[in-house]
Structure 1
Amino acid sequence: MSAQGTPSAAARMAGTSKQTSTATPKGAWTIVFLLFLLMVVNFADKIVVGLAGVPIMTDLKLEPAQFGLLGSSFFFLFSISAIVVGFLVNKVATRYVLLTLAVVWALAQFPMVGTVSFSTLLICRIVLGAGEGPAASVATHAIYKWFPDEKRTLPTAVLTQGSAFGVILAVPALNWVIVNHSWHYAFGALGVVGLIWVCAWLALGKEGPLEDTQALAVSEPKIPYIRLLTSRTFLGCVIATFGAYWALSLGLTWFTSFIVKGLGFSQSDAGWISILPWVFGATIVILTGWISQVMMVRGYTTRMSRGVLGSVPLIIGGLILTTMPHMQGAGLQIALLVVGSGLCGAIYVVCPPMLGEFTPASQRGAILAIYGALYTLSGIIAPYVMGKVIERAGSMIDGYMTGFTINAVIMIGSGVVGLLLLWPNSEKARLTRGAAVQTAPLKRAVSPT
């Protein structure tokens, strides 16, 4: 790598050689597609409360702070369950764990089909969050059993696309149910879709052949979890994605309400407008995955092809959101919100592969889960903060603008931290050396004399 960051010819040749070192097993992309569909269901489950926000608030007579609490409740057990299940998949096949999680999601939706109280809705969202908390990290861990490190960015991008398509596909369908029938039936429809995915996974889901986690737990060197969790790249991933998820959780909970109550659109129109950030975000996600993989083939370090590529869009997106309160016109404000928040998608593509670079496979499930558990804490905070800000503002539109400005500042700060801390290539070398030093005395102690 030259001082200017351009890879040398030798580096490019080494990078190209590395890319062809391991073949992708047959059936790998079938698993990616099934897990993509899992994430479609996952995010459809997440978005339904935000999409039905206005009728829910009207029917249950909720104040903005109460609705913010409802949005936050999804994340109350999200992180705890993610960590617990993350350690579990170090020993248990991901096929069965994913099956169990999907069953929980489906069953948690059906109580809302009938008349419900705020308390019942709150409890069901907490249960749903507990079931969905481990989903992304377990699905990523499952995919990495099918792809070698140098080929993981693109399947990670496809998996991440499930979040965008979950909203793009679900919003018009669920909004039609909400407008023409009832928000109650929207929850029931999601429960049925969840059970359909369970049947598909039972028929086609398999465990990846590239890694035997139990065998690797015996054969490969372990790195103490405290060293992995305090590594600068792990901390950088958590902080950077925390800022991105702040924007995402606001989009899930408050975007449709902003369109209806803040800008005056109808519920029907708001359903279509609510798709826009996810369409743009999906484009960013797939472009990031493709560009990252191309850069790696051409010999760029993962510092550049993953760390910088993921952090810079966060900063740019935050700067765009800071201009929203100073612009006039609903169309322009929506465009700024769509572009600013949509740029966050880049960080989701690059962080899991970065963590996978330096984490032993037998520990990877737990590390990905802890990473997810920590950054999704912003999902507890952001919706409730927005609700309180709206409640205390002089007008509803002023409250929304203040909330989006807070979002912008958090995005910029987290992006800068990511830019400073994300060095996965050097992290791998440092942690591997440390593990080798720690295992050397043990090998000498047990060797025959």
Structure 2
Amino acid sequence: MSAQSTPKGAWTMTFLLFLFMLVNFADKIVVGLAGAPIMDELKLSPEQFGLLGSSFFFLFSISAIIVGFIVNRVDTRWVLLAMAVVWSVTQFPMVGTVSFTTLLICRIILGAGEGPAFAVAAHAIYKWFPDEKRTLPTAILAQGSAFGVILAVPALNWIIVNHSWHYAFGALGVVGLMWVAAWLVMGKEGPLVQTVAMAEADPRVPYFQLLTSRTFIGCCVATFGAYWALSLGLTWFTPFIVKGLGFSQQDAGWVSVLPWVFGAAIVLLTGWISQVMLARGFSTRGARGVLGSVPLVIGGSILAGLPYVSGAALQIALLVVGAGLCGSIYVVCPPMLGEFTPVRQRGAVIAIYGAIYTLAGIIAPYVMGAVIQQAAVPLDGYMTGFTINAVIMVASGLLGLLLLWPNSERRRLLAQAAAQPKFA
């Protein structure tokens, strides 16, 4: 396989898309961060707040699939711009007096706008990097989610504590519009779109074969477990710190950063280790499949110990480490899918993958809210919810180990496609 050089400007686009994901996750975290004051002001039960957390994902998957097919035909530059405009506009209604229904509707619309974000951004980045150089930029892209929380939480929490949670939403709207302006000036389409023309000579693989391949299924299952943990972190981590462990809102803001700091380190470390392993001749089965799945099993096992330890510090430590280890799978799955998916079908396949695993975001926050509401003591409900999370993480990691074989997947799918008539 001949190595391709990285086009000039690739890392500038990577940085802009990193900022894109930073804004994306700052938008996601604000409801969880302001969870306690929102519940108090709107007089929401845990089950209602869980529904609010889940509502963000109601249209998330549907929009991800639709936009995934759109970016097979439309430049990612304009799709990314339109999405960021939607994010920004949906934040401003919360600046004034708002009802639960209005907040719910705005989160649903925001989720529809953000559903395709990672898939479209990954597809855009892959137009700037050849396959053997994609793991590290994918890791940097994924870092946008962590830094979106690490940088946004202290600033947003300061606004919440000193002013109001309403203004935290408004601040995010302004930041989103700032990114829109920067992207209008500097955003470009990657030159490796030439690869699309070259791919015309390759056989087209039927979507049914791509979406029923064991590696695609393995990526969906493994990332579903990781996203269960992530969606709980987005919605319930700060309320757990405030209402479960008794921290103040001000202190909870700083504690809420910890899982994302640890997760950021895991994501960067995974990207670097994967790239080193590939350079030393490891198969993508080992350098991507195994490397992404094992941390899920370890993280779930750590999280399972949470109800059996005492002391807030130790409980937070187990939650931070257990949930933070999930980050590895986000780094390796998009490159694995890109490895065996024809270029002209890649945007749709990565988007469908995202649409499937983010279904965990609909289920997890509501399940946690229902469990807390039914518990005799809220803390017991939180512990039950995190135990459910632990079981799902371990199961998803084991299934990932069983199913993720991207190197042999490519050979098998292309052989099948080459044997079919061109019009099939």
- Pick one of 403, 410, 416 that aligns with 1:428: 410
Alpha-carbon deviation of 1:213? 7.0
Alpha-carbon deviation of 1:141? 0.1
Query: How large is the RMSD of aligned CA atoms in angstroms?
Result: 1.2
- Deviations along 1:118-155, whole A, 9 cap, x unmatched? 00000000000000000100000000000000000000
- Deviations along 1:334-385, whole A, 9 cap, x unmatched? 0000000000000000000000000000000000000000000000000000
TM-score by length of 2: 0.99
What code does the residue aligned with 1:296 have? L
**Contact in 2 for aligned 1:216/1:362 (Cα 8 Å):** no
- Pick one of 38, 44, 64 that aligns with 1:56: 38
1:48-127 matches, within 5 Å, as: 48-127=30-109
TM-score by length of 1: 0.93
**Contact in 2 for aligned 1:90/1:214 (Cα 8 Å):** no
1:187-336 matches, within 5 Å, as: 187-212=169-194, 215=197, 218-336=200-318
| Structure 2 unaligned residues grouped into runs of 5+ | none
- Deviations along 1:150-200, whole A, 9 cap, x unmatched? 000000000000000000000000000000000000000000000000000
- Pick one of 334, 347, 352 that aligns with 1:365: 347
1:146-165 matches, within 5 Å, as: 146-165=128-147
Alpha-carbon deviation of 1:439? 3.9
Alpha-carbon deviation of 1:212? 3.8
Distance in 1 (CA, whole Å) between partners of 2:63 and 2:82 is 13
Counterpart check, 1:347 vs 2:319:
no
What code does the residue aligned with 1:425 have? N
Alpha-carbon deviation of 1:69? 0.2
Distance in 2 (CA, whole Å) between partners of 1:214 and 1:426 is 23
Q: What secondary structure, in the 3-state scheme, does the structure 2 residue paired with 1:427 have?
A: helix
Distance in 2 (CA, whole Å) between partners of 1:61 and 1:394 is 20
Q: Percent of pairs identical after alignment?
A: 76
Q: What secondary structure, in the 3-state scheme, does the structure 1 residue paired with 2:5 have?
A: coil
Aligned to 1:34: 16
Q: What secondary structure, in the 3-state scheme, does the structure 1 residue paired with 2:302 have?
A: helix
**Contact in 2 for aligned 1:91/1:213 (Cα 8 Å):** no
Distance in 1 (CA, whole Å) between partners of 2:403 and 2:204 is 23
What code does the residue aligned with 2:324 have? G
Q: What secondary structure, in the 3-state scheme, does the structure 1 residue paired with 2:420 have?
A: helix
Distance in 1 (CA, whole Å) between partners of 2:330 and 2:302 is 19
- Pick one of 125, 128, 152 that aligns with 1:170: 152
- Pick one of 101, 113, 130 that aligns with 2:112: 130
Distance in 2 (CA, whole Å) between partners of 1:439 and 1:255 is 53
- Deviations along 1:393-412, whole A, 9 cap, x unmatched? 11010000000000000000
Alpha-carbon deviation of 1:84? 0.2
- Deviations along 1:281-315, whole A, 9 cap, x unmatched? 00000000000000000000000000000000000
- Deviations along 1:220-268, whole A, 9 cap, x unmatched? 3210000000000000000000000000000000000000000000000
Q: What secondary structure, in the 3-state scheme, does the structure 1 residue paired with 2:193 have?
A: coil
Distance in 1 (CA, whole Å) between partners of 2:289 and 2:200 is 31
| Structure 1 unaligned residues grouped into runs of 5+ | 1-17, 444-449
